[in-house]
Structures are given as C-alpha cells and as structure tokens.
Amino acid sequence: MAIRTALGAGRRRLLAQFLAEGLVLLVLGGALGLVVAWMGVHALTVGYPESLPRVGNIRIDPAVLGFTLLVSAFTGVVFGLAPLRYLSERVGGRLLNDRTPATTARPLVRRTLVAGEVALAVMLVAGAALMVRTVVNLMKVDAGFERSRLVTFGVALPAATYPTLDQRVQLYSRLVDRFSAMPEMEGAAVVSGLPPQRERNLFGTDIEHYTPPPDKSELVEYYQTVTSGYFEAMRIPIVRGRAFQATDRTGAPVAVVNEAFVRTFWKDVDPLGQRVRPRFGDQTPWVNVIGVAKDVKQAGVDKPTGTELYFLFDQLPRIFPAVPGARLGNVLGLGSMHIMLRSALPAATLQPSITNAVREADASLPVIRLRNMEDVFRDSVRRPRMLMQLLAAFAGFALLLAAIGTYGVLSSVVAQHRREIGIRMALGAERALVLRSVMGDGLKLTCVGLVAGLAGALVLTRLMETLLFGVRPSDPATLAGVAALITAVAAAASLVPAVRATRVDPLVALRDE
C-alpha cells in the first residue's frame, strides 16, 4: 500500500480496492452464513416438531435476514476501510524507508477486539453451561416411578366399535391378561394419563372431612384411571394402606390418593377409610380410600406435584352409573389408553409380540407410539434440551471466533517481532522462554476478556433464571468450568504461534535486515 501511494495512487483508488476486497469477503461470508442458517432452521424443525408452535411455518424471515446482512455489510465496510487512516503520504514515505514489517492497526485496537470476542464467548458459554446443568438436573428428577425397563404404547378404541364403558373395560382386561402371561413381561397395566407430563383435569370432588375456604372449591387436579397391578408395574411405592387388587374388580368402589392429596385436604386426618365422590351427578356413590401412593410427576418434571385421585378401571361403570360411556370416555380420556409393560427387553425387541397380542384382541387396533419410558421422559424436557442445544451451538461459534482472533493477533505479533525474537535467541534466550512469552501474551488477552465476560454473564444470566432448574444463574462451579474451558481454548489457539516463534532462525532473521 505504501508503494502504491508513492507511485501516485490516491485515497479514492485505495478506497475502491478496500471496498472490492471487503465485498468479496462479505458475499462469501454471507453465502456461507445463509447456508448454515438454512441448515440450522431445517434441523430445528426436524429435531423438535412438537416443541415449537406452528413449526410448519418456521423459515428464514426476510426482514431478519436483511437486517443481519445490513449489520454484516456495515461491519465489513467500517473495518475494511479502517486502514485508510494510516496510509497518508507521510506514513507511506516512512514505511518505504523502514525495514520493519508494517501493521495496519494499532495493537491496542486489535487486543481490545480480541478481548471483546473472548468476553462475548464467555457469556454465551456460561448460558449454554447453565442450560446443560438444567437438562441434567431435570433428567435426574425423581418422577415417583422407576422408568428403567419400562415400555409404553397407546391404544385408541373407536367409539363406534366400543360404545359402552363395559366393552372398553373388557378389551383392556384381555390385553393386560395376554401381556401378563408372556414370560418376558414382569408386569402389565393400563393407565389413562401418561406421566410425567399430561393435561390437568381439575374436577370438582366432594371430600369427606374437608371444608374448603370461601374462595376455593374441592378441585382435584388429576383423575387417573388404572388397572390392578399398575402401581407394581410402575414401581410406585404405596406409603400407606394398599394398592388395587384383582379382587377389587367386583368389590365396593375404592380409590387411591397421592401424598399431595393428603397434604392438601387431609393434613390432620387419617386418609385411610375416608371417602371421596366425583361430582358427576347425584347417582355417583361415595368411594372409600384404601391407600396413599407416592407423588408422581404429572405436570412436568420441573413442576410441583398436584393432587391426584386413582380409580380402578373395572369399577368405573359402578362409580359413574349415570354418565354415558362415550361421554365419560371423553371426559376421563378413556378413548385412548396407555399400556405400561415392565420388561428387561427394549421396545424394538418387544414390538412383534406386542403387535400380535393387540391383533389377537382386535385386528383393527393400531399400536400407537411404542417406545421406552426413558424416551418419554426425554420428550418431557425437550424444550429445555432445545434451548440448551441452541445456546451450545451459538457458544461454539463464539468460541471458534475467539480462538481465531487470538490466533490471528499472536501470529501477527510473531511476524512483526520476528527480528526481535531472532536477536533475543541469538543472545542466548531459550526456546522455552520465547514460548512462555508469546503464550503469556495470549493468555493476558484471555484474562481481560474472561473478567469482562464473567461480569457480563453474572448480569445477563439472571434474565434466563426462569428457564433454569436446580442451578442458580451465578453458580460458582458452572462459572469456574466456563473459565477453565475458555482458558484451555485460548491456550490451544496461542500454542501454534508460540511454537512458530521458537522456530525462528536467528541467522535468517538477522540476514533479512
């Protein structure tokens, strides 16, 4: 550039050259970014079809794309034209008479930009790390049942084929009997609502020995319809009383409540022997409570446990005699029930025997979403997992940019101080000393960015506090891990220029002068 200036090139000619170079980089970078953005949106819609609203309409928005391209163009032009201020005729003449390699930017500006990249990377990595901790904590939550070695699938009974409740009870009873007779099955049961995430019922219920406050009513959050053997198949502990038994099918109506039900309505009353009555008409009988089950997550693993009332599927015609079967099935969700099977074999291995058993009961019934309960549990935290993966992707890009920036600055420093490094090595400086000097320069930049980034992370991560579970925004262990990761990446980026500096031949460096 100094030679061009000395030969008569004006600032307009240099401006055109800088703009041309900047436009080439802008077009190439924009095209690459557009491809990555398209692939990212496609991966989101395919990977999380049920986590995003109106997923079919999600695409790259033209307004957002235009705004991003404008910001990129502005940034490219500003930083592309920055060297013009250093290319005056006076500077050009001095550079021609100076054998020292020239630089087009002040060291302070370059170092500030790299420290800023590191700081932004720290904030993004901190957010991603907190979401990772959140997903790990959610997966460790005790949902109230043992989800390992558990397989589930759905069966939907058409109302035209099974118009009465008795017909539905008989069909599901035949299915349970078939599965229970299989040697590979350790337990089998049917349930209306699949934990750990389902819709609330909020049914009005008369509860013996409980007087609601004036501003509240006896609303039970969850009605659960199960077959005998459900608590055993799910490994749900019965903390008081007993679970449903096969003999209860023909006995008096009974029910099981959960611990939250007792805490809410019978805090100072022995729940065993108490009575409840669903508000489904005057003919609905009182139902005796025979047991208290451990709380099971129904609203999501990150939500408090609600009040829950379990009914025995075989007793529903007697508990709700005045309600038509079709209407009751719609209200209680009996049209589509979930089969729970406990087995040491995975769902894929059990699929042929499960399909045959369902066909033997009714050849027209399909097997709906056969899967392991571990997969159901993972699906229940799919939104936090999606946010975690998004933040991790952005944090990965930020880390890459910070590493490239650190590498570029240190490479430039080594190139500019090649003669100085050669002289120091000619005077006896050891290679280890040169290595420490260059890497120390890079780690100093990292430390400045790290401090600024941690300060920003402490402020910004509070905005995502509602998304976190089991971890605080200012968690010391997470921030320490982020600091260690950033330092390791910066050290790796500094290592290549540092090793290159130790290989400078003093004779070649001095001969060039």
Q: In this predicted model, what pLDDT tens digit does every residue of 210-229 receive, in sequence order?
A: 988 877 767 999 999 999 99
Chain-centre distance for alpha carbon 142: 19
373 in a domain, yes or no?
no
- Residue 427 has phi, psi (to 5 degrees) of -85, 5
The residue with greater pLDDT, 436 or 335, is 436
Q: Residue 242 carries which DSSP code?
A: -
352 in a domain, yes or no?
no
Chain-centre distance for alpha carbon 464: 13
Give, rounded to a whole angstrom, the gap between the first and last alpha carbons of the chain.
21
Q: What is the mean pLDDT of the segment spanning 480-500? A: 90
Judged against a pLDDT cut of 70, whether residue 483 lies above it is answered with: yes
Same domain, 236 and 219: yes
Q: What is the pLDDT of residue 508?
A: 62
Same domain, 309 and 187: yes
Q: DSSP string spanning 356-397?
A: HHHHHH-TTPPPEEEEEHHHHHHHHTHHHHHHHHHHHHHHHH
Rg of the chain over CA atoms, in angstroms?
Answer: 34
The structure tokens 């025997």 sit at 353
Judged against a pLDDT cut of 90, whether residue 65 lies above it is answered with: no
Q: What is the pLDDT of residue 325?
A: 59
Q: DSSP string spanning 287-317?
A: EEEEEEEPP---B-TTSPPPPEEEEEGGGHH
- Residue 323 has phi, psi (to 5 degrees) of -105, 125
> What is the C-alpha to C-alpha distance for residues 239 and 233, in angstroms, rounded to an integer?
16
**Range picked from 82-86, 198-202, 408-412, 507-511 for highest mean pLDDT:** 198-202
**106: confidence class by pLDDT, cuts 50, 70, 90:** low
Q: What is the pLDDT of residue 322?
A: 67
Judged against a pLDDT cut of 60, whether residue 278 lies above it is answered with: yes
Same domain, 182 and 303: yes
Same domain, 317 and 206: yes
Contact between residue 325 and residue 133 where contact means Cβ atoms under 8 Å apart: no
Bond before 196 cis per omega within 30 degrees? yes
353 in a domain, yes or no?
no
Judged against a pLDDT cut of 60, whether residue 512 lies above it is answered with: no
Judged against a pLDDT cut of 80, whether residue 67 lies above it is answered with: yes
The residue with greater pLDDT, 425 or 66, is 66
Judged against a pLDDT cut of 50, whether residue 428 lies above it is answered with: yes
The residue with greater pLDDT, 165 or 176, is 176
Judged against a pLDDT cut of 60, whether residue 289 lies above it is answered with: yes
The residue with greater pLDDT, 58 or 136, is 136
496 in a domain, yes or no?
yes
Cα–Cα nearest to 442, from 401, 398, 496? 496
Judged against a pLDDT cut of 60, whether residue 104 lies above it is answered with: no
Average pLDDT value over all residues in the chain: 86
Same domain, 17 and 129: no
- Residue 482 has phi, psi (to 5 degrees) of -60, -45
Same domain, 165 and 296: yes
Task: Show the domain range for 229.
Answer: 150-343
39 in a domain, yes or no?
yes
